[in-house]
Structure 1
Amino acid sequence: MRLDHIVLWTNDARAAMDFYSRVVGLTPVRFDEFEAGEAPFPSVRVSDDSIIDLMPLQMAGGLGSFAKVEGSAGHPVNHVCLAMSKSEYHALDRRLRAEGADTSARMNHTYGARGWAPHAFYFADPDGNVVEARYYE
């Protein structure tokens, strides 16, 4: 079993796409189709088999009843964690700080899907979604 996708609510899908592609370094998926009105939302690729959907918040009303879980549409997630190599981790930290993002929330020796990671930091995207970055030895 694998994680297929995560949905993050966004007030501005274009700003979110810019942040996740230019600053975080993820690859756009269906952005051209979204811009052309052919896709309801764009995504960014995290790995070969995992993406993050950047769902416009105005779509929340219709999705609560669709999932048959009242109150779930537009509900925030505590945070999403991206695991990467040590060099990618440091490069991301530099890009985020260059953009003025706060990466000062740091943790050492944190547990995740691949066991213990020596270091991690947290940052917010333009919509206030919290993302954790970490690497494993």
Structure 2
Amino acid sequence: MLRLDHLILRVADPTTSAEFYQRTLGLIAERGESPFLALRLSEDCVIDLLPQAPHDPAHLALHTDRARFEAVRATLRALGIAHGGGPFVRDGRVAAQYGARGWADALYFHDSDGHNIEVRTYEPC
């Protein structure tokens, strides 16, 4: 089986992006031997932040447990970040969407560069 090791996300300013992901998702930025500022997703996967204005917005779908999902939702509300239950909807709701492991509650929002971020949980309410 193949698994994702890292991906490169074009961002206007890696520090600004890292701060955004820290505030909204609790991701920690790190700089090891890589030339990139990286966001740690898990012990074996990072997002490398390439300092280059994005040409096209990316879509990143991340899954987590129910507690963290609800914490992200509350954080988005507290920060006034528009979010919603579909890729093009920002109505403050959560909706069931299909993904790699089947149906899950999902919410979507844009990061500081306009990338469409999806956070989902497969755990029931």
Fold conserved between structures, TM > 0.5: yes
Larger gyration radius, structure 1 or structure 2: 1
Q: What is the aligned partner in structure 1 of residue 51 from structure 2?
A: 56
Q: State the shift of 1:22 in Å.
A: 2.7
Deviations 1:17-47 (A, max 9, x none): 10112321112221xx6xxxx7532011111
Correspondence list, 1:15-30, <5 A: 15-30=16-31
Cα distance, 1:101–1:89 mapped onto 2, change above 3 Å: same
Pairing partner for 1:42 from 37, 43, 51: 37
Equivalents in 2 of 1:22, 1:40: separation in Å?
23
Does residue 1:120 correspond to 2:106, yes or no?
yes
Q: What is the aligned partner in structure 2 of residue 62 from structure 1?
A: none
The one-letter amino acid of 2:23's match is: R
Q: State the shift of 1:112 in Å.
A: 1.4
Q: What is the aligned partner in structure 2 of residue 109 from structure 1?
A: 96
Equivalents in 1 of 2:107, 2:76: separation in Å?
11
SS at match of 1:23: helix
The answer to whether the 8 A contact 2:57-2:114 is kept is: no
Equivalents in 1 of 2:58, 2:94: separation in Å?
16
SS at match of 2:83: coil
Q: State the shift of 1:92 in Å.
A: 0.5
The one-letter amino acid of 2:40's match is: R
Equivalents in 2 of 1:132, 1:124: separation in Å?
9
The one-letter amino acid of 1:115's match is: G
Q: What is the aligned partner in structure 2 of residue 132 from structure 1?
A: 118
